[in-house]
Chains A and B, each alone.
Chain A
Amino acid sequence: MTEFFAMGGYAGWVWSSYAIALVCVGALIWRTLAARSAAKTRLEALLKEDEA
């Protein structure tokens, strides 16, 4: 297990690459879903206003 985390002495390089990937892709997914729910809420409010 220790050997796995050590990555042949290159732990910092390998793990920081994967960490950056996780942060970038995670942020992209979060932004996509947040924008979707914000647009949904806005449209629903407008449609309700339209009915009233």
Chain B
Amino acid sequence: MWSYFANPERFDRLARAVIPWCWGSAALLFVIGLPWALVVSPPDYQQSDTVRIMYVHVPAAWLAMFAYAGLGASSFVYFIWRHNLADVAARAIAPAGAVFAFLCLATGAIWGKPMWGAWWVWDARLTSMLVLFLLYLGYMALRAAIEDERLAARAGAILAMAGLINLPIIKFSVDWWNTLHQPASVIRFDGPTIHASKLWPLSVMAIAFTVLFTAIVLTGMRTLILTRRADALERAEERRQETEARSAEPNAVFNPEAAS
């Protein structure tokens, strides 16, 4: 299956068909989800209306982690099978994941200040989420710092795979350590403990963000494929000009004696 979709042209055709549906359904889901989250869903009995921050904060956190799982998985596929498309996926995922990790931290701080009395505390959940954000930044910085594209892809893949260890730490940090952050209330072995009047708008917002993320990543991948084609054309053109210049003056070989 991997090899089937590893063909960039086949992927491009598929992505071109899927992307408009993703933009469209994301828009539709936000039109339903935002009024549900901001108006229809009830305020919390303890947190009053600040609970509405959850409808942005929680989907952002989920997506930041989901995106990182995707980054790790495509890095693994690239590292083992060297499918360029897997590397393209990793590169397209990274900036989107970083934005959602930042959004999670920012909205968390804004929620924390009125409810906990602190913008930030160095506890396990918040710190591991900050580490996730830094992993994204580190991944992008590492790739930008290495000029050789294959070496950059391989080094990035190793960093991304090593960072996967952080995902279970984020998920279970609220169980393993004492923390100000509330424990899981949706993804639990014994089912969600959050009330349906909040679970439904939360689900709609989470799906809306996920579909939007899919559109962004697929569009980013198509862009990277175009860029690769352009780079290859440019290199071919440079080589052609070099050969032409050389054949135009066959005796213009560098001569150290003549130069001195």
Residues of B within 8 A of A13 (CB): 50, 53, 110-111, 113-114
Size bracket of the B interface:
35 or more
Chain B residues touching A, majority SS: helix
Interface string of B89-114 (1 = CB under 8 A from A): 00000011001001100110011011
Taken together as a complex, chains A and B put the C-alpha atoms of A39 and B143 apart, in Å, by 19
Residues of A within 8 A of B48 (CB): 8-10
Cβ contact within 8 Å between B219 and A7: no
Cβ contact within 8 Å between A43 and B110: no
| Total cross-chain contacts (CB, 8 A) | 90
Taken together as a complex, chains A and B put the C-alpha atoms of A16 and B252 apart, in Å, by 67
Taken together as a complex, chains A and B put the C-alpha atoms of A28 and B99 apart, in Å, by 7
Taken together as a complex, chains A and B put the C-alpha atoms of A29 and B114 apart, in Å, by 30
* A14, A31, A39: the one within 8 Å of B53 (CB): A14
Cβ contact within 8 Å between B50 and A35: no
Chain A residues touching B, majority SS: helix
Cβ contact within 8 Å between A17 and B233: no
Residues of A within 8 A of B85 (CB): none
Q: Given A10-B48, A10-B50, A49-B237, A17–B226 Cβ distance below 8 Å?
A: no
Taken together as a complex, chains A and B put the C-alpha atoms of A50 and B123 apart, in Å, by 58
* B39, B50, B111, B216: the one within 8 Å of A28 (CB): B216
Residues of B within 8 A of A17 (CB): 52-53, 56-57, 106-107, 110-111
Taken together as a complex, chains A and B put the C-alpha atoms of A36 and B57 apart, in Å, by 28
Residues of A within 8 A of B226 (CB): 36, 39-40, 42-43
CB of B175 within 8 Å of the partner chain:
no
Cβ contact within 8 Å between B233 and A50: yes
Interface string of B209-247 (1 = CB under 8 A from A): 000100010011011001101100110010000000000
Question: What 14 new A-B contacts, CB under 8 Å, besides A33-B219, A36-B220, A46-B233?
Answer: A4-B39, A7-B50, A8-B43, A10-B48, A16-B110, A17-B57, A18-B38, A20-B106, A21-B103, A25-B103, A35-B223, A36-B219, A39-B230, A46-B234
